[in-house]
Amino acid sequence: TLLSFGVEKLWDLLVRESEQFQGVHEQFNELKTDLNMLRCFLEDADAKKQTNQGIVYDAEDIVEIFLLKEELGMTSSIRKSVQRFSYVIVKRRGLAFDMNAISKRISKVIRDMLSLGVQQKNVEQLVGYLAEEDSSQVVSIMGMGGIGKTTLARQVFNHETVKNNFAALAWVCVSQQFTREYVWQMILRKLRPEYKVLEMTEDEVQEELVQLLGTQKTLIVLDDIWREVDWDIIKPMFPQAKGWKVLLTTRNEGVALRAHPKCFIFKPDCPTFEECWKIFRRIAFPRKDTNDLKVDEMEEMGKKMIKRCGGLPLAVKVLGGFLVYYVLSLSFEELPSCLKHCFLYLAHFLEDYLVDVEKLSYYWAAEGILNPESYERTSIRDVVDGYIEELEENFLQIINGTSTVNSKSSCKSCRLAVHQLDKTFNVEREMNNRKLIYLLVILKDKRTDWMAPHLCFTRLKLMRVLDLSRVQFEGGKLPSSIGNLIHLKYLSLYMAHITHLPSSMRKLKLLLYLNLCVHERCSIYMPNFLKEMRELTNLFLPLMIRDKVKMEFGNLVNLETLENFSTEHGNVKDFQGMTRLKVLSISFNSKGCTMETLSSSLSELKHLENLTIYDDYKLYAPTNDEGFFLDCKNLKQLKLSIYMPRLPDVQRFPSHLTSITLSGCCLEEDPMPILEKLLHLYDVSLLNKSFFGSRMVCSVGGFPQLKKLILSTLYELHEWIVKEGSMQLLHSLTILNCRKLTELPDGLRFITSLEELDMNTHTLEFWKKLSRGGEEYYKIQHIPLLNIV
């Protein structure tokens, strides 16, 4: 499925850009022919995806690099690169799910593995040995790969007795490819997290480790040591003094004996049939509610199966997982091709992780999962909403939740999803992988920042998705090597601590999504590079831009969302070409732009649905309401946070407006006579000094569709009158920080639809009036949910 998806994506790219391949027609036609053949062969070639997926990535890179270099005037021959792709042959293979296939798989596991499993008695035995003062300093868990050595070691490492017996603990995975410096650094970072270990030399790290291990009781776990010489490389960190102990996991008994002649070698026992059954049941029957399943029949069949596993837990896990996979695959195969890729992509996220659909939309688009033709006439978000709705209806159960479990993708060589940063995670090291195309950091605590002082993008030329939200760069500068990521389609620097963007970003011509809304305290230097990014659909600009640089936006005709556009740093006339724009927020400075000019430029945005205009500099220069006119027929949501002493006439607002928020407008006249005539208003919020008058009146028949009303921080409001027949559909009313309002409108008692009142009173007298039995309680006694403080 993944390989066929890659071929389809590359095929679309070739067809779309075929006119650009002048001078390489022969190779180009060969590539198209081979790809067309692959499309026929790859209906169910899942078994080959790991082998050939890289070829598809390489071919896609070739096409994109060629197109970009041609545009930059640096076209070079790709003849050799295209030729190598012509030798790709993928044989069709089917998947068998009958009992014979299951038996063969189990038999292979039995042949490959000697023993497997973690029993509690094994844990207790190892814990007891490590706790003995006079026992050997080196303990080894020995067995073949997959036998469960690491699982057993992890249970011992986390045991309360071990934690209480040792002053310090450290765990490091050695594996086949390692360096002494890396192992030593990881151990010291565990023992002394406050140290700046990465800034220390190897000799300094060794000296510190020798001193620590010689003066405190410490347990070091070295997981997965392969060769005897590996121990020789690591051992200079261990002092002669006793007190420290080492727990090894290895496949080689010689490693243990090399570490210490009297090393205690532990070989785990196999679990019992009952324990194997528990493993199988946990995998094959994960649901607690099994009322609709014939459990008795399935249990009997399952027990017969696991008897053939020879008491080997890995075989049991394979069997259980294989059966579950078969059931899931039947549902999966029923999905349309495009939804299969969307579903597989969700594996990057933790189980029960709350996924931001807006971001997911652009992850999918950046990876090429969405066909560009599918959103030529609509937005990316609309397409994705349809996909998710179909997945939810036919396949998925959408559940909100959080998880701290750390999961890894099966294709982590291409995609790195970091779910929970800790002190052992080294961004710089992980990003040295040349094949990395995806970096996503998911923080459980959204207030957490993460450090990447030496991050460099030189080697990551395949990168498509890069989410660096909340990162802190050294000196506040984004490395200029970001310009090497010419395939990048998604880049987020949301809340990052950055004060300088490099001009090399002009090379990122394929970007669809760019979030430059860095930390609110950062004033950022930003060259005029946006004009090169013609593919952009979502652009989030910084709140504060240094210098009076004028940005050019005229080429960004594909924009669907533009946030934090500043009239000081951009020309509103550039809006006229952004006919696809749906969401727009503008920092309005009347010194550089008039409201009349702005209104005229917005009139071309026929698809605009959400508009925010705010004065971020709080200049309080009066806005000319005569120049305010919004001819945006599809505009549904409007937020105004600008100094506007008088609200424009109702004819100057879009007739189908459903939501309006006013904040900081300092209106001197009652806005209700105008707002109540907007017949489709569903939601009205008057916030933060939006009205400076003392009296508001809601007339008979006003606000016929209004469901939600918020009045907040209207310090001068003294009297509010609601006539009978006004706001007849109002559902929720919130009144906060209106200090001079000492009584509620009598007309509230006629609004029978009102279900919720949330209010704070500023005097005990007013609170008593509204309490049960108070003189004004009759006005609100029909409201089911009252929250008055």
Domain boundaries, the chain: 1-94, 99-112+271-333, 120-266, 336-405, 411-549, 556-642+649-657, 661-789
DSSP state of 647: P
Region of poorest pLDDT, from 347-361, 421-435, 528-542: 421-435
Q: Tell me, what's the pLDDT at 41?
A: 42
Q: Quote the tokens at residue 662.
A: 């006013």
Backbone angles phi, psi at 53, to 5 degrees: -60, -40
Taking residues 100-111, report their average pLDDT.
41
For residue 454, is pLDDT > 80? no
| 94 CB-near residues (< 8 Å, 6+ apart) | 44
The reply to whether domains 120-266 and 411-549 share a CATH topology is: no
Does residue 355 or residue 773 have the better pLDDT? 773
For residue 447, is pLDDT > 70? no
Unique residue bearing structure tokens 């963007």 = 501
Q: Tell me, what's the pLDDT at 737?
A: 92
One-letter amino acid identity for 204? E
Q: Tell me, what's the pLDDT at 530?
A: 94
CA 365, CA 439: separation in Å to the nearest integer? 15
Nearest residue to 570 via CA among 583, 580, 585: 585
Averaged pLDDT score across all residues of the chain: 75
For residue 116, is pLDDT > 80? no
Taking residues 269-294, report their average pLDDT.
68
Residue 319, burial from CB neighbour count under 10 angstroms (0-12, 13-18, 19+): buried
One-letter amino acid identity for 703? F
Nearest residue to 700 via CA among 751, 665, 666: 751
For residue 582, is pLDDT > 80? yes
For residue 680, is pLDDT > 80? yes
Backbone angles phi, psi at 460, to 5 degrees: -100, 55
Q: Tell me, what's the pLDDT at 667?
A: 93
Does residue 664 or residue 150 have the better pLDDT? 664
Q: Tell me, what's the pLDDT at 64?
A: 54
CB atoms near residue 300 (< 10 Å): 11
Does residue 313 or residue 692 have the better pLDDT? 692
Q: Tell me, what's the pLDDT at 587?
A: 92
Backbone angles phi, psi at 219, to 5 degrees: -115, 125
CA 382, CA 454: separation in Å to the nearest integer? 39
Does residue 282 or residue 745 have the better pLDDT? 745
Q: Tell me, what's the pLDDT at 339?
A: 80
CA 600, CA 330: separation in Å to the nearest integer? 56
Q: Is the dihedral of CA 672, 677, 683, 688 positive or negative?
A: negative
Residues pairing with 637 in the sheet: 610, 659
Taking residues 209-225, report their average pLDDT.
86
Count Cα neighbours of 302 within 13 Å in the Cβ-side half-sphere.
Answer: 27
Residue 562, SS3? strand
CA 786, CA 161: separation in Å to the nearest integer? 53
CATH class given for the domain over 411-549: alpha beta
Does residue 632 or residue 24 have the better pLDDT? 632
Taking residues 761-783, report their average pLDDT.
90
Q: Tell me, what's the pLDDT at 45?
A: 39
In the chain, % of residues over pLDDT 70:
68
Q: Tell me, what's the pLDDT at 704?
A: 96
Does residue 562 or residue 343 have the better pLDDT? 562
What pLDDT, in 10s, does the model give residues 617-638? 555 555 555 667 787 888 999 9
CA 17, CA 696: separation in Å to the nearest integer? 61
Give the CATH architecture of domain 120-266: 3-Layer(aba) Sandwich (3.40)
In the chain, % of residues over pLDDT 90:
25
Does residue 666 or residue 176 have the better pLDDT? 666
For residue 416, is pLDDT > 90? no
For residue 120, is pLDDT > 80? no
What pLDDT, in 10s, does the model give residues 142-160? 876 656 778 788 888 888 8
Does residue 31 or residue 361 have the better pLDDT? 361
Does residue 193 or residue 106 have the better pLDDT? 193
Taking residues 505-520, report their average pLDDT.
92
For residue 430, is pLDDT > 70? no
Taking residues 642-648, report their average pLDDT.
89
End-to-end CA distance of the chain: 58
Residue 133, SS3? coil
Using alpha carbons, list the distances in angstroms from residue 568 to 488, 587, 597, 623, 629.
29, 8, 14, 16, 21
* 80 pLDDT tier (thresholds 50, 70, 90): very low
| 773 CB-near residues (< 8 Å, 6+ apart) | none
| Ranges 129-133, 388-392, 443-447, 656-660, most confident | 656-660
112-129 CB burial, b ≥16 within 10 A, e <16: ebebbbbbeebbeebbeb
Residue 634, SS3? coil
Residue 48, burial from CB neighbour count under 10 angstroms (0-12, 13-18, 19+): middle
Region of poorest pLDDT, from 205-219, 282-296, 327-341, 686-700: 282-296
Q: Quote the tokens at residue 331.
A: 């549902």
Q: Quote the tokens at residue 721.
A: 């009158």
Does residue 104 or residue 682 have the better pLDDT? 682
Q: Tell me, what's the pLDDT at 101?
A: 46
CA 784, CA 776: separation in Å to the nearest integer? 16
* 83 pLDDT tier (thresholds 50, 70, 90): very low
Taking residues 207-216, report their average pLDDT.
85
